[in-house]
Amino acid sequence: MKLHFIIMLLTCISSAFAFDINGTNVIFRFENQSLDSATKNMIETDLLRRIAPTLQRASIGLSIIEGNENYELEGVLFCSPTPLSLAHTLDTTLTKESSNFLLRVDDEVVSQYISKIQLYSVNTNAIKQAWDFADYLNNSDIQNMSTNELRNLRMVKGYEPDDFSPEDLLDFRKDLQGWNFYHPSIAEFQMIKCGPNNGTYLWGILPCKKDEIIDCFPIIYINGKWMISFWMYEESLLGM
């Protein structure tokens, strides 16, 4: 059975991206109002990319503290628990304004995104290929995928593609089955000295969801394509 990528529709309200929570618009409000629109748009688009796996379970919580209404965005994850994640994520406190809610993007989030945007500008084609890679996995029949295709999706430290046994490929097929894959956030890409020949490669995090389980696969860009690889963890386990 083919997997289907969930497309999140974006709405433009007063030049700001909004996302819908049970019929209510939540709009990003930047702490620095003088930030240029191109940078704002890249950050807003990527924040929406980051919450895509958990958006369906999101809700707006209300609490009364000392007689005042307090709102919070609940059920979403802006930061995956990986070594490549941004150290700082959003405060999920919401401010109500008319019929909309505002989610503040503080200067620390923007500051960390600036370096990620620079990385994206240098590696635009590769990062766009990572989004294509997610679409490819979603539109592939994993159960009936050929062994050659499977071999070329996975990189393992100390193994060549032809070294994978039928049992290895069966395990890898099972690892991929049933997941819905999402476009990686630009916040989750990083150049790391880790990979073949102790070289420096572009690494990313491929988010995925199965039922209510949120997970991810590390991916490496090598020889003009993306592959799933746990090389960095294998090095740690092997003490190398």
pLDDT of residue 79: 53
Stated as kind and residue range, the H or E segment containing 61 is: strand 59-65
Residue 137 is predicted with a pLDDT of 96
Full pLDDT tens readout for the chain, 240 residues: 333 333 333 444 344 577 888 888 899 999 888 999 999 999 999 988 888 888 888 888 888 888 888 888 887 766 554 544 454 567 778 898 888 899 889 898 898 899 999 999 999 999 999 999 999 999 999 999 999 899 899 988 888 878 888 898 999 999 999 999 999 999 889 999 999 998 999 999 999 999 888 889 999 999 999 999 988 776 654 444
Q: What per-residue confidence (pLDDT) applies to 13?
A: 38
Sign of CA dihedral 100, 35, 7, 215: negative
- Measured CA to CA, the distance from residue 188 to residue 47 in angstroms comes to 11
DSSP string across 211-228 = TTEEEEEEEEEETTEEEE
Query: How long is the chain?
Result: 240
Cα-based angle 103, 212, 27 (whole degrees, multiple of 5): 15
Query: Would you report the helix, strand and coil content of the chain in percent, each value rounded to 5?
Result: 35, 30, 30
Q: How far, CA to CA in Å, does 64 sit from each of 61, 69, 71, 72, 97? A: 10, 5, 9, 12, 17
Whole-model pTM? 0.82
Closest CA to 176 of 221, 130, 139, 128: 139
pLDDT number for residue 173 = 93
Q: What is the pLDDT of residue 108?
A: 87
Report which DSSP code applies to 85.
S
Question: Where are the domains positioned within the chain?
Answer: 11-118, 123-238
